[in-house]
Chains A and B, each alone.
Chain A
Amino acid sequence: MDALKQHKGLVYPLNRANVDTDQIIPKQFLKRISRQGFGQYLFYNWRYDDKDRPRPDFSLNHPKYQNASILVGGENFGCGSSREHAPWALEDFGFKIIIAPSFADIFFNNCTKNGILPVVLKEAETQQLIKNAEADQYHLTVDLETKKVYDNVGFEASFEIADYPRQMLLNGWDEISVTLTYDDKIAAFEKEHLVY
């Protein structure tokens, strides 16, 4: 996983609440056995019609959002399934940051384990960002070290994130390697622990 300290990028606004994992990556694309290549199926049913033609009315298909790397969404973002294919698809498509007023728990975790930073801002703040990004091409900077989101025309907001996922993201750590340093503790625990 690459380290993520600060990121500046183009914002894509998705003004919907309860965007669920079935919408992020429809299940007909879950059958692959590798981690790569899911980006092409991101938001598939919104991006393409039943003949696989791009739907011109879906905003992510607009040229102005090509190369967006920051998604700003509505509340309860990523609800639904625990499938990690959802962050894989977002990441593979090019999104590094997801900003929303709230996230589903499992999705939030899955993001941080795949190098995506989920940022919780207040609803009024996300609405402001959505408005800006709908109006024009709009760039934001997200700084994980200072826990701030800002643009160069005066928007600035702070966010909170637990120290553990923050450190993992900042350092690009592989969690399993970290845990394996506790191997003796796990082994000692297993000796005493009763499972019927």
Chain B
Amino acid sequence: MTKPKTIIEKIWDKNVVFEEAGKPALLYIDLHLVHEVTSPQAFEGLRLKGRKVRQPKRTFATMDHNVPTTHTNVIKDEISKLQMDTLKHNCDEFGVPLAGMGHKHQGIVHVIGPELGLTQPGKTIVCGDSHTSTHGAFGALAFGIGTSEVEHVLATQTIWQAKPKTLNVKIDGNLGLGVTAKDLVLALIAKYGVNFGTGYVIEYTGEAVRNLSMEGRMTICNMSIEAGARAGLVSPDQTTIDFLVGREHTPDGELFEQAKTDWLALATDDGASYDRTVTLDASEVEPQVTWGTNPSQCLSVNGVIPHPDQAQDDNQRNEIKHALEYMGLEPNTPITSVPIEHVFIGSCTNSRLQDLEQAASVIKGRKVNKGVHAIVVPGSQTVKQKAEEKGLDKLFIEAGFEWREPGCSMCLAMNGDIVPAGERCASTSNRNFEGRQGTDARTHLVSPEMATAAAIAGHFVDVRTFEL
């Protein structure tokens, strides 16, 4: 009998090109995703040294961070335009496939990878973006890299990596009605903090994870980086296979059958051990709302804003004070009494078709509150088209939401979609850092359902009672 292995070890062993004791290993990269913000300097580096892209066919580019979500044919911002033109030019020069502006597959890099079937179990996937962890939902080892590493992967199709430690996040129990994958991952980070995953690759296991859709698994893996882990993944199972059938870049026919067998065999073996295990009971999780300036500063919707005196030490006290000040909040206020001015439904965390369906399901003929500006930004052209086929655009528009073109948009507010200073946004994105959605903007992270409910109510509200 061979020793039982985790999926992380299996992928690692399969992809190590070269290894020497006491040094990082040279790891082969199966898929390199590229976008316009973290790649210009990498291509520039290749050009300066006269180097080529080693495997253009294992590289795929799109434009997402900077793209306008209104009138996509006019890019007002000259510098954004320069960045997008630069990517187009670089892809042409180096032979890299690109789903750029106007392309039917354009969209957020972490939405289109899975959608096109580029993301597959067992692959090592990198991208110059920290939310690359999203692709782990398929049982891929996927992590974000910096621009120097982007250049390195372009030139060599490899990366030097120390073998990661493994962390089992075991989530048993079942999610209650109105509670989503987003609430699950926020509750997890609230419980264990923003760096419990540092130095580890997380595998999410347990009944609650097995019962999640691929979309839900992507939401959880997406936020692994918010727990400090560079990668998070879920062992492939029938749900994974069902999602992959018939996608543009997945094999078909007999080859699919062979792939399927290989993919399912990647799942963690019974009895495999991890370096560390933490647990969460999904049945105890309630809808979550972040109140502060990092994702662990998070409450159940029926909770109250904390008081600095609840802190365990001076550091924490300062952090709470600082966050309350930035967020313009008073201690001990129920979070449901906090009014909002903006709602953003989108981002690589929550902009897939299922997220939009769930968000729309809360509307039930009601309207967005008068004082609220609410936008829905589908994750990709494909999501947008499918949503429109289902009439979701109409539901949103009739309720008073704006229905936009795909892109990162207000998740990081690089494209001009910003939350004005001092104003408050219920956002389905993944980061509530200071200035993330605009200078002095105040971000509260929530699930798509909670975002819609807040848009209608004009303040945070428990979506479970809001249904009544």
Chain A contacts to B: CB under 8 angstroms: 16-18, 20, 22-23, 26-28, 30-35, 45, 50, 74-76, 79-84, 87, 102, 104-106, 109-110, 113-114, 162-164, 175-176, 179-180, 182-183, 185-186, 189-190, 193, 195-196
Contact B128 A105 (CB under 8 A): no
Contact B144 A82 (CB under 8 A): yes
One digit per residue, 1 when the CB lies within 8 angstroms of any chain A CB and 0 when it does not, for chain B 188-215 equals 0000001100110000000000000000
Q: Does B147 contact A (CB under 8 A)?
A: yes
A176-B130 contact, Cβ under 8 Å, with A31-B83, A74-B315: no
Residues of A within 8 A of B294 (CB): 18, 20, 79
A-binding segment of B18-26, B379-387, B458-466 = B18-26
Q: How far is the CA of A118 from the CA of B80 in the complex (A)?
A: 32
Q: How far is the CA of A164 from the CA of B24 in the complex (A)?
A: 7
Q: How far is the CA of A164 from the CA of B162 in the complex (A)?
A: 10
- What's the minimum C-beta distance from A107 to chain B, rounded to whole angstroms? 8
Q: How far is the CA of A113 from the CA of B41 in the complex (A)?
A: 14
Contact B130 A82 (CB under 8 A): yes
Mind listing 9 A-B residue pairs with CB under 8 Å?
Answer: A30-B414, A31-B83, A81-B130, A163-B22, A164-B162, A176-B51, A176-B156, A179-B158, A196-B255
- What's the minimum C-beta distance from B261 to chain A, rounded to whole angstroms? 11
Residues of A within 8 A of B162 (CB): 162, 164
Residues of A within 8 A of B80 (CB): 31
Contact A76 B195 (CB under 8 A): yes
Restricting to B363-412, which residues have a CB under 8 Å from any CB of A?
Answer: 412
Q: How far is the CA of A196 from the CA of B230 in the complex (A)?
A: 24
Central interface residue in A75, A83, A196, by most chain B CB within 10 Å:
A196
Closest to B159 in A: A179
Q: How far is the CA of A2 from the CA of B425 in the complex (A)?
A: 44
Contact A196 B130 (CB under 8 A): no
Q: How far is the CA of A82 from the CA of B66 in the complex (A)?
A: 17
Residues of A within 8 A of B315 (CB): 17, 74
Q: How far is the CA of A33 from the CA of B436 in the complex (A)?
A: 21
> Which of B15, B23, B413 interacts with A163 by CB under 8 Å?
B23
Q: How far is the CA of A113 from the CA of B287 in the complex (A)?
A: 41
Q: Does B166 contact A (CB under 8 A)?
A: no
Q: Does B434 contact A (CB under 8 A)?
A: yes
Contact B38 A83 (CB under 8 A): yes
Count of B interface residues, CB-CB < 8 Å: 73
Closest to B155 in A: A176
Contact B433 A20 (CB under 8 A): yes
Residues of A within 8 A of B38 (CB): 82-84
Residues of A within 8 A of B132 (CB): 82
Residues of A within 8 A of B116 (CB): none
Q: How far is the CA of A87 from the CA of B148 in the complex (A)?
A: 11
Contact B146 A32 (CB under 8 A): no
Contact A164 B160 (CB under 8 A): yes
- What's the minimum C-beta distance from B437 to chain A, rounded to whole angstroms? 10
Known: A22-B434, A33-B82, A182-B18. 6 other contacts (CB 8 A): A22-B431, A83-B38, A104-B195, A176-B45, A176-B51, A190-B28
Contact B436 A180 (CB under 8 A): no
Q: Does B105 contact A (CB under 8 A)?
A: no
Q: How far is the CA of A22 from the CA of B390 in the complex (A)?
A: 37
Contact A195 B123 (CB under 8 A): yes
Q: Does B151 contact A (CB under 8 A)?
A: yes
- What's the minimum C-beta distance from B430 to chain A, rounded to whole angstroms? 10
Contact A83 B160 (CB under 8 A): no
Contact A164 B421 (CB under 8 A): no
A82-B414 contact, Cβ under 8 Å, with A33-B40, A50-B439: no
Q: How far is the CA of A179 from the CA of B54 in the complex (A)?
A: 13
One digit per residue, 1 when the CB lies within 8 angstroms of any chain A CB and 0 when it does not, for chain B 404-444 equals 00000000111000000100000000010111100110000
Residues of B within 8 A of A16 (CB): 322
Counting from the closest, the 3 A-B pairs by CB-CB distance are: A82-B144, A33-B40, A110-B146
